[in-house]
Structure formats: C-alpha cells, structure tokens
Chain A
Amino acid sequence: MRNAFVSSLFAAFCLLTSVADAAPGIALEGGRARETAPGQTVGAGYVTIINATATPDRLLRVASPAAAEVQIHDTSMQNGMMQMRLITAGLSIPANARVELKPGSMHLMLVRLAKPLVTGNSFPVTFEFERSGRLVTQFTVESTGSASATEHR
C-alpha cells in the first residue's frame, strides 16, 4: 500500500516534469521594429525573451520573410567609440531570466529588407532556440517618434 502510494507519487512527479518539458519554456514579448527611412536597406527589431524555466537555453537563429537575413547584434559605447558586433555563437538565455533586445543594446538587424518597414504594419519573425525549438511572433512596425523606440540603455 505504502509502496503503491510512493510509486504513484513518483509517476505523478514524472508526468508533471515531462509536461513542463514539453511546454515551450520560452516566451517572446513586445516584438517591434523601427520604421525605415526611404531607401534604407537595413532595419532594427527589438523583443523581450522570457525564460520562465530553471534551464538555460540559447537563441541560435532568427529569420523573417521581411528580410533576407536577421542577425543578432550588440551595440556598445566603449572608450569613446560606438561599436556594433554580430553575435555569431547564439545568444545565451539564462534560466529564469528576461533578456531584453532594446535600442542602444542588443538588437536584431534586419538585413536587405524585402520592402521598407512602414508604421502600423506587422510581420512574422521566427526564433530558433536550442532547447525550446521554434517560436514565431509578430513584430509591429513603430514610428521613429514613439517613446519605446528611443529608450536608451
């Protein structure tokens, strides 16, 4: 009896953890891009990646029909220089963390835009994570006058 109780408890525990494993551990919030100037061939996209699980993950790739290529970049201001670097090894997403891609910091660079980004339009962006697999979210194009578009580190 006692053994049966323990084993069913164990089974329930396994079921619970397997359910947690199967659920997507990562959520994407506030996906947005900046409207582009006429003729501008590159754009910037921002999003918050939320990992509510106790396991770290890694963002490997990002893609969108809006651009030929979507790169993960980091902008930094160091020693009087403004620098922008491509993050090639993927972006590590710690356990129980929010990773914010925001202006003046880490961001997505939309390279060779299919067409100009116009305020109010939206487009899908696919994120591929090492553990959580693929997630698709919609990015909304924001005017370059909006407050969230100027937030600086």
Chain B
Amino acid sequence: MSKHFSLRAIALPLLAAVALMSACSAPPPPFNATEVPGLKYGYGVELTDTDDKPRRIEDFRGNVTVVFFGFTRCPDVCPTTLMRLRQMRASLGAAATDVKVVLISVDPERDTADALRAYVKHFDPSFIGLRSDTKNLEGMLRAFHSVAVRVPAADGSDYTIDHSSSIFVYDRKAELRLLAEPNMDMTLLAADLRRLVAEGK
C-alpha cells in the first residue's frame, strides 16, 4: 500500500473528529439533575392552594417552580426535604424571588387547607401547599405521572402513604425540565435553578 494512501486514511477521520468536537463544545453543559424536554406534566389539573384559591401548575408560568409530593403526617423525610429546599432556596440570593417551592399533598383527606398551610409555612413562609379534590387524587396523580399508595398500619387504625419521590422542576414557561431526587446535593440543584432563572421570563 502506498504511503500517500495511508496518510489520507489517517487525515480524513482526524478532520472528522475535530469537526465533531467543535460541534460538541457548542451546546451548554448538562444540568446536574436529569433534563427532560419541556413536558406538560400536571396540566389541566385543578388544584387549590391553602387559601382555597384554584391553582394550576401552568399558572406558575414566569417562575421556576420546584414541585414535589408529600403529606403532613410524614414526620421524617418530607420535613427533611422541605428543610433542604429552604436552605437551597435561601442560597440563591436575589434569584430566589423567581423560584417557587410547591408541595402537593398526596393525603388531601387529612391534609386540610389549614393543616397544609401550617405545615409548609413552618418551613418557609414562601412555600406553597396545593391540594387536589379528595375525589380527584387519582386523576391528579395520573396527570403528573406519579404514584401514591396508601399503606395501612398493622392494626388498621392508621395509614401511611408511599409516594413518588421525584422532585419536578418547571422552567419559566411552566414546562417540566428537570427531574431530581430529594437526596440530591442541594448546591448542585441550586446551580441548575440559577440557570433556569437566567433563561429569562
């Protein structure tokens, strides 16, 4: 085989690789949380806030909205998540104004508006508690592609609720953009939220 031919054989893939690398450097670095392409999770579901005002997830347009599921009789992990989100939001400084934190109750039967308000505001007065109609819990969960299952206590006197653990982050267009887990490093989530806030209204 000629020397000329082998040089070309090396040079062409090399050029192609350089072209690919410059193309790859163009898009922004990935988010720390899992990015999804602008999903309309939860759209059309009538929720009410703790002042009994109707709220829909798409009405949060303009804000970066952090949404997760929980219930007030959850003494351990829901408060832990709320506390971590408060610290995270506080670390955002001025950007925090445009970041809303929303807990959607998976126990609207026991989480009255009063109970839910007291619970979320205890952690941060800016936090928002939303409830679905008790008759529409299934429909609400379906719209958010989420799960909540009642687990009765051994003696049947009480129940706890297993529920989807994901934290949903909606961008300013009120589209679902990031999926995170509650034990995620909150400094990394804060960096993601800063980027979404910077995307502009």
In the assembly, what is the distance between CA of A34 and CA of B119, in Å?
A: 13
Chain B residues with Cβ below 8 Å from A149 are: 80, 83
Nearest CB of B to A114, in Å: 15
* 4 new A-B contacts at CB < 8 Å, known A81-B162, A82-B163: A77-B182, A82-B165, A104-B80, A153-B183
Given contacts A41-B73, A42-B73, contact A77 B165 (CB under 8 A): yes
Q: State the CA gap A79–B121 with chains docked (Å).
A: 30
* A81 pairs with B77, CB closer than 8 A: no
Report which of A40, A109, A145 forms a contact with B76, defined as CB distance below 8 A: A109
A82 to chain B minimum Cβ distance, whole angstroms, is 4
Q: Which residues of B contact A15 (CB under 8 A)?
A: none
Docked complex Cα distance between A11 and B165 (Å): 59
CB distance from B41 to the nearest CB of A (A): 14
Residue of B nearest to A113 (CB): B75
- In the assembled complex, the CB of B131 is this many whole angstroms from the nearest CB of chain A, namely 15
**What residues of A have a CB within 8 angstroms of the CB of B183 in the complex?**
77, 104, 152-153
Q: How large is the interface on A (under 10, 10 to 19, 20 to 34, 35 or more residues)?
A: 20 to 34
Give the residue name and chain of the B residue nearest to A110 (CB).
B75
Mark the stretch among A1-9, A55-63, A83-91, A130-138 that contacts chain B.
A83-91
Please name all residues of chain A whose beta carbon is closer than 8 Å to the beta carbon of B119 when the two chains form the complex. 37, 39-40
Judge whether A32 is part of the interface by a CB distance below 8 angstroms. Answer: no
- Residues on A with beta carbons closer than 8 Å to the beta carbon of B153: 86
Contacts A34-B75, A44-B75 given: A150-B80 contact, CB under 8 Å? yes
